[in-house]
Chain A
Amino acid sequence: MTRYLAKRAGQMALTLFLIVTLTFFLVQAQPGDYATFYALNPDLPAEVRAQLKESFGLDKPLWQQYLVHMKNTFTGNFGVSFGHFPRPVMEVLAERLPRTAVLFLTATAVSFYIGFFLGKAIAWRRGGVLEYAATISGATLFTAFTPAFGLMMIWVFAFKLGWLPVGKFLDPLIWRGAEVSANHVFSYMLVTGAAFIVFAFLVLFFFRRSGRIGPAPLVAPIIGAAALAIPVAWGLSDIGFLALDILRHMILPIVTLTLISFAGTMLLTRNSMLETMREDYVMAARAKGLPEKVVRDRHAARNALLPVVTSLVYSLIFAIDGSVIIEGVFSWPGMGMTLLDAVRSEDLPLVMGSMVFIGLFSLLAHVIVDVLYVYLDPRIRYQ
């Protein structure tokens, strides 16, 4: 396993190298000269311009520029953003990456769970009303024009019903007198969320029982108590209402992203289940007289999960693209919106930086899925 991980890390580094090379030459290949474009930007004072020109080697031949670019990228120096001048690209990205990660990971996890659950159910009762309803609504949501769908969600839940805020990350009216920054509160929220997930996993791990269905009787109360304690603790702290504001802004983008991406998993699980249900061991399980639910969940669904996890890579990439669009629509200031703004204002250093980070993000997701696969399928042992 360690050797496999090392090998994957090596491959990842190589792929990342190729992505950086690709972005460099794409920028070089665009009409107009990047060097002049960078150096003639009127927003930059003369001394900064000279300094930048030197640090990026813009006066040197192309191959030297390429080497300098490579070195800068891997030391985390993407230059200074035009649009957010004088903040370095790295600082802008470091602020926005967690926001995207939360949006994206929550939506992916929820949509995977819902998709797998529904796919299992509709394959088991093939030809029922549920199958038609779920297939048609799922495929419609899956192929729905994401921006229009997002705007529709805003219109219904924010304008008509007024339940949730329209967009953006926070409400300036609530934050006017606040003494802490949004990033500060958000990082505390991240830590709380991560701690809760780790805690829940540990509880499930220690109370697991072999050969039985469902969790042990103690699990639900313990996790429930923790889930209750968190809002109480936050409510008692003096930044609780600020966190609530961020949370309220998060709901609509996450729900929208979940709705557009669960269908892919659902339809795939259905197909995978249909294939598994024909296997002899499912018939054997039925013949033994096991309850339907056990046959479905333990014998069929457990094996049908494998191809679904394989394709999780594709759905992750789909979700990354989806979150770029969703961020644009909801003005959620994460990586996707940074990329869109940078593209619109021709902020090339920020465009290149975001692209490298989005690439890195998807590469990491790729590796995690591969490792998960080994865990799920004991037949596979990577060399």
Chain B
Amino acid sequence: MITPQPDHHVVIGGPSGSPEPPLVDLHPGRSQMAMARARLALRSFRGGWAIFVESRIGVLSLATIVLFALMAISHPILMATVWDAEVYDPVTGYAFDRLEHPSPPNWRHPLGTDPLGRDVLSQLLSSTRSEFILGITAALVTVGIATTVGAVAAYYGGLVDSLFMRLADLIIALPGISLLIVLSALFKLNLFYLALIIGILGGFGGTAIILKSQALSIRVKPYIEAARVAGGGHSHIILVHIIPNLLPLSLLYMMFTVTGAIFAEAVLSFLGLLDLRMSWGIMIHTANTGGYLLGGTRYWWLIVPAGASITFLCSAFYLVGRALDEVVNPRLRRHTA
């Protein structure tokens, strides 16, 4: 919240008490500061965007993500307008108009039906939404934890630092998918718990180490010293000076977390270990348990749409992350800015 405050000017140049406007504003008000920050952020965003656009793969991947987002949005709209819930519901629907299931693609069911007579396109679209929810929740949890842990560990050092870093070492020493498989044996995992667990593991694990090393290099910058000299408290320095400067790198690791989360969900669903209504992994699981997968190309619509969606969305987030890496890390750029 920005509260308007009476501006308090220190005037340099003109004689005191003169009616001339001040030449240099040494102590701007909060609203002006916020404006200046916003302008700076906008400028660095534009600069970053210009570098990002240079990477053709990055732009293409971003377009893929937007396409999938449109798919996710389209499902509720289609269900509300043209699709009858009895036929097209991704879980309980049944295509009465076809005699055999799985039936190949046709006009009413553009991607055919699955062995249980449900519309594959509807399943695909409705799963897209849950993949986004899962990926983004996991990424936000990861980055929220990792940024805080990284900033705090780098700023305070000592015991706090070594405690968090040993914890991170422990977590990266554990293979994540195997751990999730074990957890699924012990607890019923739904989408939310899965996102939370992936987020917590990522946030206290590898991402925290990387963000901490970045925070360490921020901590020794002159502006941190200046803030301390100006009387800024610990929490002020961490919140206002360290964390905002960590955010670009955090954004980068959000992308990688999304990839990991979607992949983990798909694998666990494929193995039939999750408590979900519908997902791309479950679509392949259904086809596999029915024995349709080794039919090869004959039942392609049961596996190709879901498999390709997982691959494309995962690699799109991964490649956007890599393109962002070139923005964040100047040493990778082709031209020095």
Contacts and interface: CB of A to CB of B under 8 A. Distances in A.
Contact of A155 (B170, B184, B259, B294): B294
Given A139-B318, A148-B284, A343-B182, A324 B294 contact: no
Interface stretch (A80-88, A192-200, A270-278): A270-278
Contact of A321 (B178, B280, B334): B178
A279 B313 CA distance: 36
A143 B259 contact: yes
A143 B303 contact: no
B118 interface: no
Nearest to A363: B173
A342 B307 CA distance: 26
B271 interface: yes
Interface stretch (B81-89, B109-117, B127-135, B262-270): B262-270
A159 B298 CA distance: 13
B169 to A, nearest CB: 7
Q: Looking at chain B's contact residues, is the secondary structure mostly helix, strand, loop, or mixed?
A: helix
A355 B314 CA distance: 27
Interface stretch (A26-34, A213-221, A294-302): A26-34
Contacts, number: 129
Contact of B315 (A139, A321, A351): A139
Contacts of A31: 187
Interface residues of B, number: 48
B182 A314 contact: no
B186 A144 contact: no
A140 B315 contact: yes
A162 to B, nearest CB: 13
A186 to B, nearest CB: 23
A351 B280 CA distance: 27
Interface residues of A, number: 56
Contacts of B270: 145, 147-148
Given A145-B307, A366-B173, A336 B332 contact: no
A73 to B, nearest CB: 15
Given A145-B270, A145-B307, A336-B178, 4 more contacts: A147-B284, A151-B288, A340-B271, A359-B174
Can you list the 6 inter-chain pairs with the closest CB atoms, starting with the nearest? Answer: A143-B314, A148-B307, A321-B177, A30-B186, A343-B185, A143-B315
Interface of B: 57, 169-170, 172-179, 181-187, 206, 259, 263, 266-267, 270-273, 280-281, 284, 288, 293-294, 296, 303, 306-307, 310-311, 314-315, 318-319, 322, 325, 331-332, 334
